[in-house]
Structure 1
């Protein structure tokens, strides 16, 4: 599972560098994100801009990550591709997660920085 993470102010920005989160990788995804977010800030922004396919196992893994972060933390999503966005809307998980259209809307303080 390829992830890239970077601290941005009060949040950890994690880019998922995979095209699919499905049953074949869901457990590895959950563990990799948990390792990246361990001992980090309470706010985690998961960037799914490179993920074009998410099945129910992948959705379950994202929900599990939210639970692993705990009640004091917050998992937000950004850059959802149309296919992934559709999964979140059809399952009404868009009401559970804060979903940002872009990296700039997730981190407005970085706008205008070259």
Structure 2
């Protein structure tokens, strides 16, 4: 799994470059995101625009990263329909702020 980071208006954006976030990639995702975090107390914007499929293991990895932020917040952006539906069905859309784009997340 490949990730990249960028800064937008002082926010760390982590871009996930994979079409699946599932049991096979969840641990790699978690380790890669945690390694990219300069400050465990900061919030991040997680760009999932390329992820077209996520299962419970992938969602669990996102939750684990969230817990590891020690009070920092994750905003998720670019959710494709299937991933957005998973967030809605599991009510994770009440835990994570979901936005259509990085710019929307920054303005929120």
Q: Same fold (TM over 0.5)?
A: yes
* Alignment match, 1:79: 78
Gaps of 5+ in 1: 109-114
> What is the TM-score with the length of structure 1 in the denominator?
0.88
Quote the residue 1:38 is aligned against.
38
Q: Distance in 1 between matches of 2:103 and 2:38?
A: 24
Superposed CA offset, 1:6-62 (max 9, x none): 122331001100000000010000000000113377120000000000000000000
RMSD in angstroms over aligned alpha carbons?
1.4
Which is greater in Rg? 1
Give the alignment's TM-score, normalised by structure 2: 0.93
Matched length: 107
Segments of structure 2 that go 5 or more residues without pairing to the other structure are none
Q: Which moved more, 1:85-94 or 1:9-18?
A: 9-18
For residue 52 of structure 2, what is the aligned residue in structure 1?
A: 52
Within 2, Cα distance between the matches of 1:41 and 1:3? 20
